[in-house]
Structure 1
């Protein structure tokens, strides 16, 4: 072992590994420095749990001369027999170190050892990564060196694991913060918040297409079925829209009971409002088809659902609004208000998709003029358009 290089590596970790510009680059540079210090590493894995509604944890796998493989593991791994028979399970559950030499027959209780032995690996060690909040994460280290890791190499690895854990924890918290913001306020809003836009009144104007939708008959549904069923129905119903919205460049800003507010920024597309509005309309078509196909068994009946969505385009104020230290990152403005009024008109007309004159004028074709309607709070009546291929259900 090169003690000087080991100390340089420890100093680099204490300094935060700042020369690495990304988690993958940090993993690669750290392992390369370890090899330069005399650790004969072959395959290194780091496994961290995260706060995410769908993902249990993330993995980072390094091998010499290859790109770091980044993966995500869903919660179903907790029920997987392979996970329960893995050394990592012991690390996560008990916070214990697990070592498995290829020539140690007791190691055969771990199926992964057979796989590693076939690759020529002679030694495997799983080490816990203890975070300051008390949580336990995991790492795995392998070598092809004859006889496995020496005592000196193991001592060096144990000496590196604590400063390594601190840096990994910082990286994980940053990723977790971004993931939580993405989950609860949306990607663009999350990026702005992490970028420092956290003061009340910190807003900006943005030209955007606006989507405001509502589930028909929600009040009646809530009155006649258990609350748990209502939540499940809403989740299935929102699934019919969110994927289409995100796949076509939109961002969901808010859920309001059975209502959904989303925006499709136009300024970010160099003013190509026609393309953005076409994307919005395509998302509306997809959502309409998905909701129409949605079936939910309630009692002895199978419930079918209808919804309405209003599409508009205009300038909005986008940013932090609220009271005291409780803020909401949302959008407001006359354009949002008009979209909300149009959605109510869609309900009155029994229409699924309606658009303002401004939206229909940009995204031409396929619209029928439904007439002018008085709009609460606005001095002028609004001309409303509906899809030609849709008949009123009123």
Structure 2
């Protein structure tokens, strides 16, 4: 089976044929773009790239490496759906982390309560990511910190995070111009199971990491080291009428789990607002530069209502702005449609569980929650029924009940 990854708006992609080899492909005669890039041009570019894959792909991961506008992402997905059975849009951080985890995935079986420290070191900044496993043995991002510091401060910061997390494994992802810093860290701290991976081009590790995220067990990647997809994070700026200064407002926190809404979390006057991605790095020439790009070319009208939904990101990672034609015409995945049309049969134990649950007002009423609320865990005890409910991002889910369901 063939899997692939593609950086949205790029003219190349990377594919793996499922037998341990991967390659970088793209047309040699791509036309020179006349004028600014448009959704139509993105579709044409994607067609030229994807049709070079020898057969239909099993999985195709699209990395939003340049923080493209939503219409570009949707245009890319539209073409990708013709060339792959499954398409997913991921943020750059997920691609980077998957690239970093490649060596450790080949090295060991993950231990219980595994902790991994991933450190990205460049001449301009350093990122620290602490990965942990939850009660279901799923890897997630527990901590993320970004610092723009001097080179002589790197070791001090590393000591803080290493002594705080005491990881089972440490991965140093380092730009080749500062490779010596990674070697010094490994020599001075001697971290357990330490791996050093170097890179020259930012887009290379994102493209390669996207391909690894598209792979599963039969393609050669240990999926126990896959991280669930999450959002880039979105924000806007609103002028404070009293101070006349523009203030940052968070619409959706980075790394929120999917699917989720993009919504106001503060009261503001009714107005047109510009929606931006949370700050991210991308490569410009030989430099990594920070950027905060707009997600649409047009401003979005907000009535000013608290928790008003501005947009939506579906389970595949595809973002939409409210009231847009793309949002109105979006297609639900087939399995979602089937679940809605065909009710699931319940066994007798589950029916008994439901009848008991209906006896309590706690369980019969939905939880009141918005995406702006902090996550909650509720322990429910009523007669002979007990349950655990998790409330997050405006929805709730029962993890287990006293019958093991």
User: TM-score scaled to structure 2, two decimals?
Assistant: 0.25
RCO greater where, 1 or 2, for CA within 8 Å and sep 6 or more? 2
Which one has the largest radius of gyration? 1
User: TM-score scaled to structure 1, two decimals?
Assistant: 0.26
